[in-house]
Amino acid sequence: MASPSPAPDVERLARELRAGDRTVLSRAITLIESKRADHRRTAAALTQALLPSTGKAVRVGITGAPGVGKSTMIDALGSMLTKQRRKVAVLAVDPSSRRTGGSILADKTRMGKLANDANAFIRPSPASGTLGGVAAKTRETMLLCEAAGYDVILVETVGVGQSEIAVADMTDFFLVLALPGAGDELQALKKGVIELADMIAVNKADGDNVARAKLAAAEYGAALHILSPHSANWSVPVVTCSALKGDGIDTLWRHVLDHRERLTASGELAAHRGEQQVKWMWTMLEERLFAPLRSDRALKAALPRIETEVAAGRLAPATAVEQMAAMLKL
């Protein structure tokens, strides 16, 4: 007896997901994250079926140094938005999650309001994988959340370095959180985070920190003047806020909406999203092509020897590549 076609299952899953069923959404995300070939094909069919129902959400990336208050900010901002009858999904890109389990799981305890909010959905990074793989799965998860009716997607970068670029490449608006009086404005400039920012918010501007927060904001503003803006239609604002007290969160959100309105009117938002889709395609293809490198037993066994010989100068890198390609039959 022939096995049934998976198409009806995909259609039912898509229909139930569009209806906003949170259990179905969680199941669909688990399917997206699976490495099984049959699950991968079903996941691709599902995202294709849901594509017309995506793209309407406001996508905001959030980054900042450890201790800057990302979780508190997400909790405050998300709670304000759900009170406005918006549905908020919180996702994470964490390249270190294969070692730590993904810190956003622990962060749920610091997102006390959102974690118990029926209009919010919090999902950690996939449990394992490279940054490219984690980012690709997060992008697909974002589409599923949009199809399920979530109209604001907050994507947190839990890791450092390239994860910031990955999050900026999948969102419409990139928010950089900074600390008052911590001197990290120079570090951020050196790392190039400021160049990615659509807004800089100096958090923890409360109590004795207010004056230091204003000083830090002025220093960030000065730093922005020496950089070329990445959009002719947007000047990067620098604001102060207190996620803990809830001060300045409404102003922060108004800037996000203003940015969206301006870039939509100019056509830049649509063009930007189109470029992101193409990058997403290439990232997923690269991940698929590199998968055998991580799963081939013979190659994994030989790699320590090959790396040692290359490092010692006994084996030319080009020869090493030829050996590895031969093992993979490339």
Q: Are 309 and 324 in contact (CB under 8 A)?
A: no
- Please, is 246 exposed, middle or buried when counting C-beta atoms within 10 Å of its C-beta (0-12, 13-18, 19+)? middle
Tens-level pLDDT at each residue, the chain (330 residues): 444 444 448 999 999 999 999 999 999 999 998 888 889 889 999 999 999 999 999 999 999 888 889 999 999 999 999 999 999 999 988 766 554 444 454 555 568 788 889 999 999 877 666 677 778 889 999 999 999 999 999 999 876 667 888 899 999 999 999 888 755 555 555 557 888 899 999 999 998 889 999 988 988 888 888 878 788 899 999 999 999 999 999 999 999 999 999 999 999 999 999 999 998 898 888 888 877 777 788 888 899 999 999 999 999 999 999 998 888 887
Give the list of residues 6+ apart from residue 97 with CB closer than 8 angstroms, or none: 103, 124, 125, 126, 127, 128, 134, 158
Distances (CA, A) of 283 to 63, 64, 131, 146: 21, 24, 10, 21
Three-state secondary structure call for residue 272: helix
Give the list of residues 6+ apart from residue 143 with CB closer than 8 angstroms, or none: 47, 50, 51, 54
Three-state secondary structure call for residue 46: helix
Domains of the chain: 1-53 (1.20.5.170), 54-266 (3.40.50.300), 282-327 (no CATH)
* 173 strand-pairing partners: 60
First to last CA, the chain: 37
Three-state secondary structure call for residue 238: strand
- Strands of 76-194, DSSP E: 88-93, 120-123, 152-157, 173-178
- Which residue in this structure is represented by tokens 């590895």? 324
Among 293, 295, 231, which residue's Cα sits nearest to residue 265? 231
Three-state secondary structure call for residue 184: helix
pTM of the shown model: 0.86
Three-state secondary structure call for residue 4: coil
